[in-house]
Structure 1
Amino acid sequence: MTTILDKIIAEKRTEVLRLKRESTQLSFEVSEKPSLFEKLKNSKNLQIISEIKRSSPSKGIINSSVNPANQALQYAKAGAACISVLTDTPFFNGNFQDLKDVTQIVEIPVLCKDFIIDKVQIDFAKAHGASVILLIVAALSKEELSNLYQYATDQGLEILVEVHDEEELKVALEIDAKLIGINNRNLKTFEVDLRNTEKVAKSFPFHENRVLISESGIKDSNDAKFVAGIGASAVLVGETLMRSGDIESTLHSLQVPKGVVRL
C-alpha cells in the first residue's frame, strides 16, 4: 500500500532532478545565525520552533494568504527560538523563496523544513539562508542519512534529525545527532498522538549532550507542559500558530518551564 510519505518521496525525486539543473545559479552569500542547539540546551523554559505552513496533506488549507516575512517577524518578536519554513510545494504550498524572505528579515535560526533526499536540496537550503535543515530517518536509508548528515555538517549547518519510534532513535544516535525531534505525526497515516513523544523519550539519552524536540500536535499550554515534563527542550508548532489570532499570546502560553527529566 502506497503511503503519503511514499508519494512525497516520489515527488521529491522528480524535484531533485530539476534542482540539479538549476543549481549552477546558486549563490551562497548568507548571514550567520546563532546556534539553535545552544539556545535549546541552555534555556530554562520550553522553546518554540514556530512554523510557517500554508497547508498540509492532512489538514488541507491552513492559511493560504500568509506573508512569510510578516509572519516570521511576529514569531521573532514573540520570542520564538527558531522559525521553520516549509519549502515543499506540491503537498505544503511552500517554496524556497519563502525561506529566503524569512532568513533575510530575522536574526534567529531558520529551519528549512522539507523531505530532503539529496545533497542538492541542502545546497538550496543553505543558499536561501537556512541555518538548520531537517533529515527524516523514515525517508532515508542509514547510509543516505549518514552521508547527508555529514554533508550538511560540513556546510556549517545544524541538523534536526526526526524520528518516530525507538528504532529510528537508535539510528539518529548512531550518527551522533544532537538535535533530535520526535514526530507525533505518523508520516504513513498522518495521524497524531502526543504520547509518541512520551514513548520514545523513555529511550532518549538525556544525560548526553543532546536535546529533544517534540513535533506536531501541540495545541495549548497543557500539551506544552506534558512534553516538557518528559524531557522536551522545545516544541515545533505550526498549525496552532498559523491559525492564532494572537501569535504573541499563543506562543508565550507554550513557553512553560522545562520539566525535571525522570531518568
Structure 2
Amino acid sequence: MGIVDEIYRKNSKRALVKKYRRTRPILSMSKSIMRLNSRKRLALIAEFKRASPSGFRSPEGLNLREYFSGINTAALAGISILSEPEYFSGSYADIENSQDLNLPILVKDFISTEEMVDSSFNAGGDCILLISDFLEFRILTELYDHALNLGMDVLIEFHDVKSAVNLYSFSDAIIGYNRRNLRTLEMDPDQRGMDEILGMKNRIRILESGINSGNIGSGMLRGFNGALIGSSILSGEDVTDKIAKMEYEAYV
C-alpha cells in the first residue's frame, strides 16, 4: 500500500471542523482564473505546505501570511493550502487563518467523504480537491455534487489517464493534471496525460507538480489556463515573476 492510499485509509480518524468558522462569503476560484485569462494572463494558484512525502520540507519557521504577502500578485488567482496533518504537517487552522487574505482558497487534501467536504467549507475553503485516481466514480460524483450544493468550486485532478475517462461529464469542474504519480511519488514524463487534459474542451485546465524556474518557459503551459505551484515557490525560485510575464494561450 502506498502513502496516499494509507492517507485515505486513515481519513476516518481525522479531526474535522464541525463548527461554522467562515468569516467571509465564498470566493470563486474558477471566476478568478477566468478573469486573469480574459486579460491574457496565465493564472497561478500558489501553494503553501510544510512538508510532503516526496521529500520536500519548507524553510524552518516559514510564516504562512508572510509567504503569501511576498508573492507577485499579477497572476495570482488563488491559494492552495495543505490541510493533511500526518504526512504534510497541515491543518484546517491554516485555512481559517487565511480567509482575510481575500483570495480564493483551495483546500488541498485527500477528501473521501461528505463530512470532509463540510469540514473544508466550515474552515473557510472556497474550492476542494478531488483526486480521481483514488476515488470511485460514484463517490467522486457524490462529493462533487455536495461541494457544488455548498457553493464551492471543485478541482478534479488526475494522473492516470484511465481515471480521466469520466471527467468529461463534470461540466463545472476545474480539471487538473498532476504530473506526479501519487502511487510512486515519481514525476512521470509520459505525454498521454497532457494530451488528455488538453483535449477537454470548455474546461478550466490546470497543470500541477514539477513546475520550476528551469522548465516554466519551455512551453509546457501552452493550452492550460493556469498552474498550481508549490515547492519551487517555497524554495525561493522566481517562478511567480516568470509566470506573471507569460500570456495565456488558448488551446486550439
TM-score normalised by length of structure 1: 0.85
CA contact (8 A) 2:56 2:231 kept: no
- Flag the 1:101–1:78 CA change in 2: closer, same or farther, 3 A: farther
Identity among equivalent positions (%) equals 26
Matches within 5 A, 1:64-103: 64-75=60-71, 77=73, 79-103=75-99
Measured after TM superposition, the shift of residue 131 of structure 1 is 0.8
CA contact (8 A) 2:148 2:154 kept: yes
Question: Helix, strand or coil for the counterpart of 1:91?
Answer: helix
Measured after TM superposition, the shift of residue 207 of structure 1 is 7.0
How many Å separate the matches in 1 of 2:164 and 2:144? 15
Partner of 1:259: 249
CA contact (8 A) 2:93 2:123 kept: yes
Measured after TM superposition, the shift of residue 205 of structure 1 is 6.2
Question: Helix, strand or coil for the counterpart of 2:98?
Answer: helix
Bigger Cα displacement from structure 2, 232-241 vs 175-184: 175-184
Measured after TM superposition, the shift of residue 158 of structure 1 is 0.3
Bigger Cα displacement from structure 2, 121-130 vs 86-95: 121-130
Cα root mean square deviation, aligned: 2.2
Q: CA deviation digits over 1:98-120, x for unaligned, max 9?
A: 1111122x122111000001111
TM-score normalised by length of structure 2: 0.89
How many Å separate the matches in 2 of 1:61 and 1:207? 34
CA contact (8 A) 2:198 2:251 kept: no
CA contact (8 A) 1:55 1:63 kept: no
Measured after TM superposition, the shift of residue 32 of structure 1 is 3.3
Select the residue among 138, 142, 167 that pairs with 2:137: 142
Partner of 2:193: 200
CA contact (8 A) 1:47 1:234 kept: yes
Partner of 1:173: 168
Task: Give aligned pairs, total.
Answer: 248
Judging by fraction of residues, say which structure has more helix.
1
- Flag the 1:131–1:142 CA change in 2: closer, same or farther, 3 A: same
Any unmatched runs of 5+ in structure 1?
A: none
Partner of 1:234: 226
Q: CA deviation digits over 1:214-234, x for unaligned, max 9?
A: 0000012633542222x1111
Select the residue among 76, 100, 121 that pairs with 2:116: 121
How many Å separate the matches in 2 of 1:169 and 1:97? 32
Q: CA deviation digits over 1:9-61, x for unaligned, max 9?
A: 1122221xx43xx62x334453332x322332351122111000111001142
Q: CA deviation digits over 1:181-227, x for unaligned, max 9?
A: 0001101010013x45x422323365732111000000126335422
Any unmatched runs of 5+ in structure 2?
A: none
Matches within 5 A, 1:30-69: 30-33=24-27, 35-42=28-35, 43=37, 44-69=40-65
Partner of 1:109: 104
